[in-house]
């Protein structure tokens, strides 16, 4: 019995171990997917918020050149105005640049020379510099407006140059330019989790919360593209090395430390740029693993509770079955003991009944012995009378007295019946047999007793009063009842034997 129990326990432990592995794996997979989905949703939300911030800033900056070209001082300066007009324009540009947060606003004449600038009063003044080679100048002069992404040749900071032509296409007089830089937004984005990159269509990082990634490239730069960039001076001497971040399948990115991050991108409206936002998966996966362990522990606790409940119920059922078996065995043993005891009692009762019957038989025989002496006279007297009647019948027959013969024979028949009754009563009294309880007329019981005891009372000259004859019926055994009455009458006779005028009476 021990071996199956050990095998069952080993199987249960193995099942629990496999179940734990399954729960841990399933919970880990579920928690990891949930964590990555939530992380991707959070990253997408942040990227959209950052993109909307860029959109709102660009909308403000795009509107400003349209407003500036309507300044009268601007047109006066472009028309060859005085030094005072130029000074006022420089002050206005400086004030506007300060108010909107632009690093530089400047005005370029049709020949490409800067004639007014918000930084005119600084050592980095653009006034007098020629930018006719810049694509944004050429584009604005030709199309009315242009946007160009490049590094400032003096500031060395990347920005989006927004240019608006002044004058119509047939007679352009110049271009007003405002520079939009991402560094202020980058400072704001640095408070957000993860890293954010502004990327052009070639994969070149124009701005990043990771300062070491500026002007690096997510994609390899071809020789032709590199030559064009150098020729245009768009990024000055930047070598555009490969980024330390690498895109991976399933919307993931590998960071410089080799860790994985969720990567999402959002287009920047009105430009060919896009914003890429990444968030490391490490913290989320660690939290997912913690959650998986917690779920596994909780599941195992539930399993242990359920297993414990099942084990308790099974053990309880086993104990109940064992108790029932033990109880049934005890009941069987007790039943067997009771059966044996009952059999022994029945045997003892049978022995008692047999002994009682033997004693009763002996008592009857003893009583019969004492009764027989008295009955001899009861028998001899009718026999003598029958003999006399027979002899007389012979004489009457010889003399032809047939009526006398018939009378003697009738009397002989009666006496013979009397003798038969006495002998039958003696046989019945002496016979050993089980008494049968039946309805017994009282007169029959009294008559039988008087046949046995009447002569003794007469010989002893003791008066015996018996009940008057009646139709009363009792439920009794005749033999035992007669024996009881005989014993009572014998005892009564012995008790009054020496009395004067003895008398015995029994009544019902």
Identify whether 471 is part of a domain. yes
Residues whose CB falls within 8 Å of the CB of residue 298, separated by 6 or more in sequence, listed in order: none
The CATH number of whichever domain residue 439 belongs to comes to: 3.30.565.10
How far, in Å, CA of 506 to CA of 508, rounded? 7
Split into its structural domains, the chain has a count of 1
How far, in Å, CA of 389 to CA of 201, rounded? 169
* Residue 410 token pair: 């009738």
How far, in Å, CA of 335 to CA of 164, rounded? 117
Q: How many residues does the chain have?
A: 508
**Spatial contact of 273 and 265, defined as CB atoms under 8 Å apart:** no
Which stretches of 255-320 are assigned E, i.e. beta strand?
A: 260-267, 274-280
Q: Other CB atoms closer than 10 Å to residue 210's CB: what's the count?
A: 19
Identify whether 403 is part of a domain. no
Q: What is the dihedral of CA 81, 84, 85, 89, to 10 degrees?
A: 140
Identify whether 501 is part of a domain. yes
Identify whether 105 is part of a domain. no
Which stretches of 242-348 are assigned E, i.e. beta strand?
A: 246-248, 252-254, 260-267, 274-280
At 431-459, the pLDDT tens digits run 655 567 788 888 888 887 887 777 778 88
How far, in Å, CA of 290 to CA of 354, rounded? 92
Identify whether 505 is part of a domain. yes
At 356-412, the pLDDT tens digits run 666 666 666 666 665 665 566 667 667 777 777 777 778 778 888 788 778 778 877
Identify whether 439 is part of a domain. yes
| Domain of residue 488, residue span | 433-508
Identify whether 503 is part of a domain. yes
Identify whether 313 is part of a domain. no
Q: Is the pTM of this model over 0.85?
A: no
What is the mean pLDDT, run by run of 10 residues, along the chain of 508 residues? 59 69 68 81 91 87 79 81 85 88 88 91 89 89 89 77 87 89 84 91 89 88 83 74 90 90 91 91 79 74 78 82 87 85 81 67 62 63 74 78 78 74 68 69 82 78 84 82 82 84 84
Give backbone dihedrals phi and psi of 382, rounded to 5 degrees, phi first.
-65, -35
3-state secondary structure 83-140: HHHHHHHHHHHHHHHHHHCCCCEEEEECCCEEEEECCCCCCCCCCCCECCCCHHHHHH
From the number of C-beta atoms within 10 Å of its C-beta (0-12, 13-18, 19+), residue 350 rates as exposed
List of long-range contacts for 250-253, beta carbons under 8 Å, 24+ apart? 251/40, 252/281, 253/278
At 284-307, the pLDDT tens digits run 778 777 776 777 777 777 777 887
């Amino acid at each position: 019995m021990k071996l199956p129990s050990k095998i069952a326990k080993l199987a249960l432990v193995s099942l629990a171990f496999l179940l734990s592995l399954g729960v841990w794996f399933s919970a880990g997979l579920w928690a990891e997917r949930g964590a990555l989905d939530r992380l991707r949703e959070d990253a997408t939300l942040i990227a959209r918020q950052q993109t909307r911030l860029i959109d709102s800033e660009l909308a403000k900056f795009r509107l400003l050149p349209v407003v500036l070209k309507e300044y009268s001082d601007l047109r006066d300066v472009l028309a060859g105005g005085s030094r005072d007009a130029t000074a006022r324009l420089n002050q206005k540009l400086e004030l506007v640049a300060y108010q909107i947060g632009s690093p530089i606003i400047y005005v370029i004449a049709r020949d490409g020379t800067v004639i007014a600038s918000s930084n005119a009063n600084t050592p980095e003044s653009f006034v007098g510099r020629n930018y006719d080679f810049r694509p944004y100048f050429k584009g604005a002069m030709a199309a009315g407006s242009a946007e160009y992404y490049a590094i400032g040749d003096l500031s060395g900071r990347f920005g989006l140059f927004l240019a608006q032509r002044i004058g119509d296409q047939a007679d352009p007089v110049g271009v007003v330019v405002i520079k939009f830089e991402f560094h202020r937004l980058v400072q704001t984005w640095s408070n957000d989790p993860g890293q954010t990159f502004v990327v052009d269509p070639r994969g070149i990082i124009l701005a990043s919360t990771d300062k070491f990634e500026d002007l690096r490239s997510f994609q390899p730069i071809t020789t032709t593209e590199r030559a064009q960039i150098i020729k245009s001076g768009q990024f000055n001497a930047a070598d555009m090395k490969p980024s330390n971040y690498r895109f991976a399948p399933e919307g993931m990115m590998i960071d410089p430390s080799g860790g994985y991050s969720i990567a999402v991108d959002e287009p920047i409206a009105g430009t060919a740029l896009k914003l890429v936002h990444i968030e490391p998966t490490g913290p989320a996966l660690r939290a997912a693993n913690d959650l998986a362990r917690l779920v596994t522990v909780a599941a195992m606790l539930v399993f242990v509770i359920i297993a414990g409940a099942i084990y308790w119920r099974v053990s309880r059922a086993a104990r109940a079955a064992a108790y029932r078996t033990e109880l049934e065995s005890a009941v069987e043993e007790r039943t067997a003991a009771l059966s044996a005891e009952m059999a022994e009692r029945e045997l003892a009762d049978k022995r008692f009944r047999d002994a009682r019957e033997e004693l009763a038989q002996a008592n009857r025989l003893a009583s019969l012995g004492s009764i027989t002496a008295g009955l001899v006279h009861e028998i001899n007297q009718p026999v003598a009378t029958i003999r006399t009647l027979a002899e007389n019948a012979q004489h009457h027959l010889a003399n032809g007295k047939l009526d006398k013969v018939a009378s003697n024979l009738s009397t002989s028949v009666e006496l013979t019946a009397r003798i038969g009754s006495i002998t039958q009563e003696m046989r019945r009294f002496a016979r050993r047999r089980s008494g049968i309880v039946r309805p017994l007329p009282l007169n029959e019981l009294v008559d039988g007793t008087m046949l046995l005891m009447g002569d003794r009372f007469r010989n002893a000259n003791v008066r015996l009063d018996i009940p008057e004859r009646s139709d009363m019926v009792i439920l009794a055994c005749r033999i035992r009842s007669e024996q009881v009455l005989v014993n009572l009458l014998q005892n009564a006779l012995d008790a009054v034997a020496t009395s004067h005028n003895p008398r015995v009476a029994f009544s019902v």
